[in-house]
Amino acid sequence: MEDDPFDFESDALLASSPVVAPKKRKKVIGLDDLLVDHYKEKNRVIERESKIAKTKKTYNSDDDEDGRVAKLSKYVDECHEKMTKLSDEDDVSIWGLQVFGNQKSPPSFEFTNLQSCSIFHSFLNHEVNSLVELSTESGETFFEGLLTNGWLLKLVQKCGKVEKSIATWTFHLMLYSSKEALRSAAVNFWCAILLKNEGESLSLKIDWLPTYLELNVALETYGYLLNSPKKDSCDTEMDLGDSEHVGPPQNIRAWIKYISTCSQTRNFHFVFSTSEVEELVVVIIRLMLDRQLLGLSMDLYECMISLINFFKDEEWSASCTKISKSIASRIPLDINCLRAVECIPSVCLHSKQLRSEIAFRFLLGYFDKVEDEEEVIRQLTLINLKDKTCDLFRIYNYLVLTENWFLYNPMMKEKTLLNEMWGLYLRNCCCQINITDTRSYASKVRSKASYLVQVTSDTMIV
């Protein structure tokens, strides 16, 4: 059968019979449907524009704008008030005392005494003078040149003697000259002749040495105030800052350097007594509280060490007590008392003892009719730190002062009861002040106490 449909061997049949896909029916979109879609889209546009216009009206309304500004201002004020409470401790005035008042006129000095010295006459009579024609009228200028060039020191060392006229003249220049070159050369001259060791082959004889009285007169001329004024330096700066006669003058640097040198020459030249050096230590500590002298911090630091090392071991205990009592009576019980304690270098046994003793004297000043060590600590443990009226700035002062009292006094390690009470006070500061407490100095007291609990655990019973 030629036309057998099951004959798969016929290629012609397959080629001539292509498969035709069924036709899809197309949807007919009428005019009505297009019109409906058009109006739906138009309604959506109108609704969207209406919402935008309503939003703009809400935010651009003058009344609403004024209300939002008032509400925002209220929120800002509330936030500022809370931040102020948290940062009140930053508004506390910084340390600083006005140690100098109005300067006085320096004492006069007669140059005629200098013209009578042997060095001057030796130059007048020397054959070289025929070339330079040195006369009595040019004598002061001649000596100033020798002093600033360093030749005066070499001449007195060659002669082995410092005559009184030369000593008094250079001393006056050092303390009162307005010329930097002269006062610098004068103080270097004095430091060199004072530090010259008497054990050397050529000893130097000094006909005149200034006393504590001359140095005290100079300090008073600079305007030094014996006691601290009621106002600190930050308050008085505007009142006195414009005056040309307010101390200290530039000569205070030479004064400090000379004091430091004199205290190192006790074995060679006994210039000061122990009581005078005690008073000088008090003066130096007070100078370190004047912010006008911040540029002299290193000079004051070195002078402090020299003065403390002046005392022998058998003298120091009594002198330390006198110095600490004098300091406690002349410095107010505010942040300046902390500065006074911390400016004392803890580099030797004497300085550590002084730092501890002064801190204890300040603590005694906070409590009336209390002189016993145990009673001081007991007063600290009785303070209710949860009381909202509690002065936490004073509590912070107690912490710092007691820390220095205990830390730099080796005898305190052996006093078990005092260490236990000190530990109790530290725990009170940690536990009775909540971490969310917004009172001024609350965070500082808590942090300081927590730190002391950690660092003192190996030396104290806490």
pLDDT tens digits for range 167-217 = 999 999 999 999 999 999 999 999 999 987 544 545 788 889 999 999 999
Q: What's the pLDDT tens digit per position in 53-83?
A: 666 555 455 555 566 667 777 777 776 666 6
Percent of the chain whose predicted confidence (pLDDT) is above 70: 73
Q: Taking residues 421-446, report their average pLDDT.
A: 89
Rounded to the nearest 10°, the torsion over CA 452, 454, 456, 462 is 90
Q: Are 190 and 170 in contact (CB under 8 A)?
A: yes
Q: Give backbone dihedrals phi and psi of 161, rounded to 5 degrees, phi first.
A: -155, 140
3 state SS of 142: helix
Higher pLDDT, 44 or 154: 154
DSSP 111: G
Structure confidence at residue 129 (pLDDT): 47
- The distance from CA 234 to its chain's CA centroid, rounded to whole angstroms, is 14
Q: Which two tokens stand for residue 155?
A: 């001449």
Alpha helix (H) residue ranges in 331-462: 335-342, 349-366, 373-381, 392-407, 416-431, 442-455
Other CB atoms within a 10 A radius of the CB of residue 409 amount to 18
Distance CA 404, CA 456 (A): 12
Q: Identify which of 21-30, 35-44, 224-233, 358-367 has the greatest average pLDDT.
A: 358-367
Q: Are 429 and 384 in contact (CB under 8 A)?
A: no
Q: Are 146 and 189 in contact (CB under 8 A)?
A: no
Q: How confident is the model at residue 460 (pLDDT cuts 50, 70, 90)?
A: very low
CA angle 87–89–92, rounded 5-degree value: 125
Structure confidence at residue 160 (pLDDT): 85
Among 297, 303, 308, CA closest to 353? 308
Q: Taking residues 349-364, report their average pLDDT.
A: 96
Q: Identify which of 232-246, 272-286, 430-444 has the greatest average pLDDT.
A: 272-286
Q: Quickly tell me which residue has 């046994």 as its tokens.
A: 349
Amino acid making up residue 153: L
Q: Taking residues 427-432, report their average pLDDT.
A: 90
Distance CA 402, CA 391 (A): 17
Higher pLDDT, 285 or 79: 285
3 state SS of 161: strand
Q: How confident is the model at residue 299 (pLDDT cuts 50, 70, 90)?
A: very high
Structure confidence at residue 417 (pLDDT): 92
